[in-house]
Each structure stands twice: as C-alpha cells, then as structure tokens.
Copies of this chain bind each other. A is one copy, B any other.
Amino acid sequence: MNYQRLLDEIALEVNPLLGQGKVASYIPALAEIDPYSFGMAVVTIDGKVFTVGQATTPFSTQSISKVFNLVLAFSTLGEAIWRRVGKEPSGNAFNSLLQLEYENGIPRNPFINAGAIVLADMLCEHFSSADDALIGFVRKLANNPTIGYDQRVATSEKETGNRNYALGYLMKSFGNIRMPIETVMDFYFKQCSIAMSCVDLARAFLMLANHGEVPYSGERILTMSQAKRISSLMLTSGLYNEAGDFAFRVGLPAKSGVGGGIAAIIPQLLSVVVWSPELNGYGNSLAGIQALELFTTKSGISIF
C-alpha cells in the first residue's frame, strides 16, 4: 500500500470541507486555532511514518487523552477498574447526568466525561503525583519527552467546567469519587490539556494496534487481551453520540476530541491520526471523519 499517495489524495479531497464546520469556542485557547488547519499521519507497526499537512503541529488532544487515562489505569490497577466504570455505549449526550442518577453513580464507559473523571480519581488515589505519572506515561508511549500539559488550556477548562464539577459531585454523592473533588478535577482538566501532534498520537496509539506492546521499545504495556478490549471500547464508544455512525461508515476503533483530532488504529497494522479543528454537530472533526472514511474506502482495509 502506498500510504503517502493515499494521504496526499485524502488531503486534497477533504480540502473543500474546511470552512464548513465550527471550531470549539467554549475556551479561548481552542477558539483561537486556525480553522483551516489540517494534518494527518500514519505510523505502521514496522516503524514507517507517513504524513501530510500539519502533522507535527501540537494541538489540544482533549478527549483523545481519555484513552491514555484508561490504558494507564487498566495496566496499573487491572480488572478492578470495571467495578467503578462500565463498558456499555452511553446512548446519550457525552456528559449527561441522567444515566448516572439511574445507575447509582457508575458511568457507562471510560470515554464519557463521567467515566474519565472516575478514572482520574483512581489515578489520583494510586499515584503520589497523577500529573507526573500520566505525562511520563504518554511521553514513553509516544517516544517524545517534550510532550506536556498546556496550563492555559487546563485553567480555561476549569473555569468553564461547571458541568464536569456537577458530574464529579453527583458521583461523589454515590461514593464513586474517593479523593477530594478539587484534586480530581484539577487532574482531569490537566489531562484534557495534553498537547500532541498527529505523529505523536499515532506513535502513542501504535501500542494498541500492536496488541499491547510498544513497537519501538518492545515494552509490554497491556496483555493482548487487554489491548483488544480497549480497541473494542473505542469502536463502540469512542466518538461520543456518533460512535455507531462512525463504526458504520469507517469501522475502526478510534477516539476523538473537541480539539479536532481523531486517533484510530488498524489492529496489527498501523495507527492513523487526523487533525482538523472544525467540528460537526456531534463535536467530532468534520473533515477528520471524512478523511478516515476515505482512508478505509481507498485502502480497502477494514476490520469487518
């Protein structure tokens, strides 16, 4: 497969979509991004890197980093995490309070905000510094020691994060948050603020495509079974309330963020990450989804 030509074609074809979505505007750091930004990267398990556009420009990973949260917690705490967070698609807006009330404070899955907050609580309880543990983990996965939190983003998230505080307090009322709310929320907002490029993300997600082993270092992070299970969760719940449609059209395990990034994997083959900050009505990258659909259609690669 000539991935370079594929990426070049895709960049051309999605170009007319730029300008048709809406950049997230609830915090200044996101609102200021050039809406016409576009980048895409493919990294294969055997170590080849292909890029097009702004593939090495760091952007705000936002909800994509929920996958790092989950991988770190799963690899550290094992099956016990599933007593406090579910594995089912949510079937509702990505930060709804309804389901929590009826399911006793147990979030449906780790990729809705409530689920990520519970995982943040677990990491805060386990590590003396969850901040340091997470960023060190991400740097190792991506093989890039310069990756860091964007403190300006974290601060803005916190200032506009009333609904996330509501989720945290509601779960605390059910006993599913154990550390002080401020500690948990500060870490949660920092986790959202990690800045990474398409290439960084593709490198970091490659471990999942490689069934749990970091390809370039040989370090095993997850068992094969655990890696497959996280892939399965990404497929059923990785794109907010559009997960079913994305699985239907694209059919890859993937995770999106309101910063406009989407990271996807093709098990045992490669990872592919796209960034285009304009979003569709579901909060997912408009051009990004189209780029990934073209990627599977043109390459004929599919898990189904």
State the A residues within 8 Å of B (CB).
86-92, 96-99, 101, 108-109, 162-163, 165-170, 172-173, 181, 225, 227-229, 231-233, 235-237, 241-245, 247-249, 251, 253, 267, 297, 302-304
27 contacts between A and B (CB under 8 A): A87-B248, A88-B242, A89-B91, A91-B92, A97-B97, A97-B98, A97-B101, A98-B101, A109-B244, A162-B172, A162-B173, A166-B173, A169-B169, A228-B251, A229-B249, A232-B248, A232-B251, A232-B304, A233-B248, A235-B236, A235-B247, A236-B236, A236-B243, A236-B247, A267-B302, A267-B303, A267-B304
Q: Residues of B contacting A232 with CB < 8 Å?
A: 247-248, 251, 304
Q: Residues of B contacting A88 with CB < 8 Å?
A: 89, 91, 241-245
Q: Residues of B contacting A297 with CB < 8 Å?
A: 225
How often does this chain occur in the complex, in copies?
A: 4
13 new A-B contacts, CB < 8 A, other than A89-B89, A228-B251, A232-B248, are A88-B241, A88-B244, A89-B91, A89-B237, A91-B99, A91-B108, A97-B101, A108-B244, A162-B172, A165-B166, A228-B302, A233-B244, A237-B244
Let me know if A90 and B87 touch, CB within 8 A.
Answer: no
A185 to B80, CA, bound (A): 35
Smallest CB separation, A231 vs chain B (Å): 4
Given A109-B244, A245-B87, A247-B232, A97 and B170 contact (CB-CB distance below 8 Å) = yes
Smallest CB separation, A124 vs chain B (Å): 17
Let me know if A244 and B248 touch, CB within 8 A.
Answer: no
